[in-house]
C-alpha cells in the first residue's frame, strides 16, 4: 500500500492529548518525529492512510490491545545497567549498611523499563545482604518492556557498567544458540517480580511497602501537576524513614513537601 499521509499539527495534537490522558506524559513538539516513526508501521498493519483514522480506531475502545501497543511504542525509554552509579553506591553505603531492621528489605523500581535497573539493584542486594531476605518489584506502563524484563536475558553488548566481579557471580554467559547474550542468575530472578502499573493512578496496597523506591528518569516526561500526582500516589507505599531516589536531571522542588531532601535527587520520608 502507499505510505500514509504525513501527520498534521491537528493530528499530532490528538495523540498528545491521548497519551497525556492515558499515561500523564507530555509529548513536546520535538517528539513528533519519534511518534511518526513508531506509529507509521501500525497504520500500515491496519491499512490506514491517515493518523486520524488510526486515532479514531484507538478512541473507539474496540481495540484495547492496539491501544496498549501504542502506549508501549510511545513510552519505551532507553536504560542500562548501573545507570547513575552514585545512587547504587548510596544504596550500598548509606542505606543498606546502616539499616538496623532484620525484616525483608524491599525495593521498588517504579519505572523499570526493560529491567536493567531491577537487576542492578538485585546484584547490589545479593552482594550486600547475602544472608538476609530481600526482594525487588519492577513496574512499568509498557507490557512490552515488562515481558522483556521478566526474562532477565540481555545482549552481552549491554554489560558495560556491570562490575567484573558481579558479572562473574550474577550473570550466566550464553553458549551455542545463545552466544553473545547473558542471563541474570536464577537466584536473583526469583527474588524479583514485575507488574504493569500506571503511576498516574493510585497504587494498589497489595504491592506492599518499601524501604526504597527508585523513580528515575521518568518524571522528565511529566508536567508539574502530573509529577505531584505521581509522587502522591507513590508515597503511601514508602515506609517511614524510607528513601525515594529520582534521576539526576530531576527534582521534587515545588512538587511535594511531604518528603525531605537528603542529597540532590535523594529524599527521605519522615
Question: Whole-angstrom distance between the N-terminal and C-terminal Cα of the chain?
Answer: 60
Is position 140 annotated as part of the catalytic site? yes
Strand, coil or helix: 110: coil
Half-sphere exposure of 226 (CA within 13 A, CB side): 17
Interacting residues of 116 by C-beta distance below 8 A, sequence separation 6+: 79, 80, 81, 83, 154, 158
Distance from C-alpha of 203 to C-alpha of 16, rounded to nearest angstrom: 24
DSSP code for 8 = P
Half-sphere exposure of 248 (CA within 13 A, CB side): 6
Is position 38 annotated as part of the catalytic site? yes
Q: Choose the catalytic residue: 38, 92, 99, 268.
A: 38
Q: Choose the catalytic residue: 42, 72, 106, 140.
A: 140
Would you please indicate which residues are annotated as catalytic (active-site) residues?
Answer: 38, 140
Amino acid at each position: 500500500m502507499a505510505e500514509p499521509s504525513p501527520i498534521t499539527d491537528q493530528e499530532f495534537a490528538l495523540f498528545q492529548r491521548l497519551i497525556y490522558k492515558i499515561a500523564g506524559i507530555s509529548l513536546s513538539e520535538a517528539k513528533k518525529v519519534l511518534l511518526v516513526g513508531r506509529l507509521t508501521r501500525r497504520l500500515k498493519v491496519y491499512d490506514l492512510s491517515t493518523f486520524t483514522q488510526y486515532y479514531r480506531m484507538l478512541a473507539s475502545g474496540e481495540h484495547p490491545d492496539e491501544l496498549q501497543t501504542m502506549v508501549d511504542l510511545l513510552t519505551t525509554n532507553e536504560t542500562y545497567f548501573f545507570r547513575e552509579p552514585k545512587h547504587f553506591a548510596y544504596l550500598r553505603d548509606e542505606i543498606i549498611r546502616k539499616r538496623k531492621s532484620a525484616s525483608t528489605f524491599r525495593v521498588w523500581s517504579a519505572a523499570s523499563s526493560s529491567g536493567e535497573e531491577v537487576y542492578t539493584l538485585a546484584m547490589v542486594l545479593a552482594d550486600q545482604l547475602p544472608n538476609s531476605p530481600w526482594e525487588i518489584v519492577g513496574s512499568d506502563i509498557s507490557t512490552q518492556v515488562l515481558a522483556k524484563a521478566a526474562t532477565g536475558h540481555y545482549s552481552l553488548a549491554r554489560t558495560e557498567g556491570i562490575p567484573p566481579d558481579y558479572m562473574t557471580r550474577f550473570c550466566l554467559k550464553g553458549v551455542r544458540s545463545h552466544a553473545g547474550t547473558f542471563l541474570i542468575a536464577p537466584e536473583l530472578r526469583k527474588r524479583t517480580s514485575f507488574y504493569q502499573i500506571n503511576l498516574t493512578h493510585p497504587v494498589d496496597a497489595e504491592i506492599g511497602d518499601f524501604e526504597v523506591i527508585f523513580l528515575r528518569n521518568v518524571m522528565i516526561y511529566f508536567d508539574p501537576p502530573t509529577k505531584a500526582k505521581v509522587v502522591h500516589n507513590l508515597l503511601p507505599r514508602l515506609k517511614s524513614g524510607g528513601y525515594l531516589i529520582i534521576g539526576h536531571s530531576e527534582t521534587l522542588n515545588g512538587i511535594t513537601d511531604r518528603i525531605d531532601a537528603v542529597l540532590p535527587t535523594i529524599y527521605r520520608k519522615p
